[in-house]
Amino acid sequence: MMNYTEKIREAARRLLSEGKVDLVIGYRRGTVPMMNEPIHVRQADQVDQLYWDSFCGVNLANYLPKRTERIAIVAKGCDSRNIVVHLQEGQIQRDQLTILGAPCEGMLDRRKVWNRLAGREPLEVREENDQLAVTGRGFTERFPRLELLQDNCAICLHRNPVIHDELLGETVPEQTEVDRYGDIRAVEAMNPEEKWQYFEKLIEPCIRCYACRNACPQCYCPLCFCDESKPQWVGKSLDKTDLRTFHFLRAFHLAGRCTDCGACERACPVGIKVRQFTKKLEKDVWERYQFEAGIIVEGRPPLDVFLPDDSQEFIK
């Protein structure tokens, strides 16, 4: 585990007391184990609330759109990519930001820990090198850290921040030998009926709480299509057509913009693997344009531009 807590506090204290930023966006310890939460710190005497461990999976870029202050923000690889997308989409200006880059060894999935505990309540969770030590009433168990990674982190290719002003630690080796799309290829190989059943089953438990949308940095529209009532694009019920429409349209709005940060999946209270939608589109954008969202600061993303000789083979 990279321990950045003291470095984040030092940077926040310095930047706030020197008047270089108005606000620091970071993490604080959650009120229960493994549930760290975002915090906005505005005064140097409050920086000791800032905290870091391997349960900082919330994507802090979600708190940037349309802000007008000068902001220091803690950014893992994925957060930094979402910051780049915000810069490209005009949601924030580069000179407003001091990016505290956090080279990342992957965030841990609290659900995987709960599964290992089989109903026993975790009261304290500590990281001990490559182990996670979990203590509850009458037990302490240790699990290998690598077995508890969030699914997206296990296949992440950009753990180091792609953009930063200060680095909180040494860069980490990037993963190269990962198969990002094995699960997507398995769905692509299904026949239409099997695909239909697969997605029906995938979204069946959805309760339309919109936590996935709200956790996503790229879902920043002031009025989401599913909240619009004049005209109403999609009903608000759990009717199957409405449910499908929500998931399909949300995914299409993320095409070429999703960084696979996993914040949506992490937020879902019923454990739906919503990245199954966005990863398919990510794969298609890579295969068609060799483009990954949020990697290159300069230039426009491919779905942002139109060329008269664009391929149109999809129009029959």
Binding site for ligand SF4 (CB under 6 A): 76-78, 104, 106-107, 152-153, 156, 159, 206-212, 215-216, 218, 254, 258-264, 267-270, 272, 274-275, 278
- To ligand SF4, the closest distance from the beta carbon of 141 in angstroms equals 24
User: Which is nearer to ligand SF4, 43 or 169 (by Cβ)?
Assistant: 169
**Which H or E element spans position 157?**
none
DSSP letter at 89 equals: T
Measured CA to CA, the distance from residue 253 to residue 290 in angstroms comes to 19
From the CB of 203, what's the least distance to ligand SF4, in Å? 7
Closest approach, Cβ 256 to ligand SF4, in A, equals 11
Toward ligand SF4, which CB reaches closer, 98 or 152?
152
Q: Which is nearer to ligand SF4, 16 or 77 (CB)?
A: 77
Termini Cα distance of the chain: 52
Least CB distance to ligand SF4 at residue 82 (A): 6
Residues 6+ apart with CB under 8 A from 109: 148, 149, 150, 151, 266
Task: Encode burial over 184-205: b for 16+ CB neighbours within 10 A, e otherwise.
Answer: beebeeeeeeeeeeebeebbee
Nearest to 128 by CA among 120, 117, 140: 140
C-alpha span between 162 and 120 (Å, rounded): 39
Other C-beta atoms within 10 Å of 216: how many? Answer: 26
Indicate the residue among 141 and 227 with the shorter CB distance to ligand SF4. 227
Q: Which is nearer to ligand SF4, 73 or 258 (CB)?
A: 258
Nearer to ligand SF4, 139 or 233 (CB): 233
Tell me the closest approach of the beta carbon of residue 103 to ligand SF4, in angstroms. 9
Determine the Cα–Cα distance for residues 181 and 287; give it in Å rounded to an integer.
12
Burial label for 263, CB within 10 Å (0-12, 13-18, 19+), is buried
Give the shortest CB-77-to-ligand SF4 separation in angstroms: 3
